[in-house]
Amino acid sequence: MKKLKFKNENLERNFWSKHDSTDYIDWKKAKRAIFPKLKPSVKTISIRLPEIMLEELKLLANKRDVPYQSLLKIFLAEKIKSELVHTAKV
């Protein structure tokens, strides 16, 4: 197997976008890695909601004892998953 070194992450990202890892890595020798403290990347956005919608979201979140932003992420994740499953069947 060939040993690779890259000067920076952009060069490495570009390389892997054009090459198959099986030419460089013996996946039969690979070991499963677990990263328990790894958190997904997040991006802050601004969203405008009708006041009544925000108040209702806060009410629902309060009933579940979670922050309203967390509940909104849950709702979005559920809807996205549902839509992806639905569009995959079409």
- H helix or E strand, kind and range, residue 17: helix 9-18
Query: Domain for residue 8, yes or no?
Result: no
- Of 20, 18, 19, 25, nearest to 3 by C-alpha is 25
Average pLDDT, the chain: 91
- pLDDT bin (cut points 50, 70, 90) of residue 77 is very high
Query: Domain for residue 22, yes or no?
Result: no
Residue 62 lies in domain: 32-89
Calpha distance 78→6 (Å, rounded): 39
Query: Domain for residue 1, yes or no?
Result: no
- pLDDT bin (cut points 50, 70, 90) of residue 1 is low
Domain count, the chain: 1
Query: Domain for residue 12, yes or no?
Result: no
Query: Domain for residue 25, yes or no?
Result: no
The answer to whether 49 and 24 are in contact (CB under 8 A) is no
